[in-house]
Amino acid sequence: MKKSIFVTITICLLIALLAGFIGYRWIMGDEEVDEDEASGAGGRGSRAISVQVMEVKADTIENSVVINGDVIARNQVSIFPTIGGKITVLRFDIGDRVWTGAEVAMVDPSRPGENYSLSPVTSTISGTVLQAPFSVGDTVTAQSAIFVVGDLSSLRLETFVPERYVSSIRQGLRAAVRLEAIPDETFTAEIDEINPVLDPASRTLRIRLRFINEQGRMLVDSRIKPGMFATISLVTRTRANVPVIPRSSVISTYGTWIAFTVDDDNIAHRRVLELGIENEEYFEVLSGIELGERIVTAGQSFLVEGDFVRIVE
């Protein structure tokens, strides 16, 4: 009895295995037909590779240098005493208006056992007191700046450009400016003063820019104050009406820039590119791709020449 039960179970298992094998072959046969169809559509693999594409269009691209700077008064002068001694009188404070020749402080040069007349300190320019670091009773020397006076009617931006960008700096070069104190607004400025030599210690070039409006005239905005911190984006080069592609679409291989385009049959083609100026988002294309072609912007890392692709949004 036990022997016949064992034989029956063994036969059932063999029948089940045979049925599973036949089903597997049937399923694989259908997949091979699908692979043949895909190959007939132009793909070299077993299935289409999903990619995202965009049409190459003409646009304007700008190359820029981002550096930090400070807002300063155009005419900003330190006022020094003619002799050292103790400050006895300070006639002005920060924010006060002074004029050329005004007596701003008095210094007593007397020493123990000696008495001298008070020495007046006069302003050499007209403007507003920006700094007043000393108090009555402080002892100063002839190298101590008792006041810093500036003309607030004409503000400037001062910054220092690294040596590698100096060749692009020129008078009238435009910049986009963002101020930490006014974060929701972007101002326009242009270079109007360039130091003729680099600082040998920092290897930077000092430049100054003036704020301008849309018409290119000097901008006067009461919200902008000397001492504000600024982020300056200097547009060093601009190219208009040229083919532009996203940085994400370009691959660097052994010193060569490549990208993939997709034709009307959804076949991928490898293109070797010659690139022009660039910024944080785009490249200018000098050769390798024409306007109107579809370039792969995502999924190109898995592609080779002749792959069949499926375009997804």
Amino acid at residue number 63: N
Predicted TM-score (pTM) of this structure: 0.57
pLDDT tens readout for residues 293-302: 999 999 888 8
pLDDT tens readout for residues 1-49: 555 665 566 666 667 666 655 554 544 444 443 444 444 444 444 578 8
In whole angstroms, give the CA distance from residue 160 to residue 60.
27
203: region left, alpha or beta (phi > 0 left; psi from -120 to 50 alpha): left
pLDDT tens readout for residues 99-132: 999 999 999 999 888 888 999 999 999 999 999 9
Tell me the mean pLDDT in the region 238-262: 91
Q: What percent of the chain has pLDDT over 70?
A: 86
Tell me the mean pLDDT in the region 243-256: 90
Q: Which position has the token pair 């200018």?
A: 284
Tokens of 257: 């820039």
Q: Which pLDDT score, from 0 to 100, does residue 17 have? A: 65
Alpha helices in the chain (DSSP H): 2-40
pLDDT tens readout for residues 53-81: 999 999 999 888 899 999 998 888 999 99
Backbone angles phi, psi at 152, to 5 degrees: -80, -5
Q: In what order do the strands lie in the sheet with 85-90?
A: 119-122, 103-108, 85-90, 139-140
Q: Which pLDDT score, from 0 to 100, does residue 42 have? A: 47
Amino acid at residue number 174: R
What are the C-alpha distances in Å from 216 to residues 60, 177, 189, 190? Answer: 21, 15, 9, 9
pLDDT tens readout for residues 134-186: 999 999 999 999 999 988 878 899 999 999 889 889 999 999 999 999 999 99
Tell me the mean pLDDT in the region 226-235: 91
Q: Which pLDDT score, from 0 to 100, does residue 136 have? A: 95
pLDDT at 209 over 60: yes
Tell me the mean pLDDT in the region 193-218: 92
Q: Which pLDDT score, from 0 to 100, does residue 87 have? A: 96
Q: Which pLDDT score, from 0 to 100, does residue 8 have? A: 66
In whole angstroms, give the CA distance from residue 156 to residue 190.
10
Q: Which pLDDT score, from 0 to 100, does residue 91 have? A: 95
The answer to whether the beta carbons of residues 204 and 163 sit under 8 Å apart is yes
Q: Which pLDDT score, from 0 to 100, does residue 279 have? A: 82
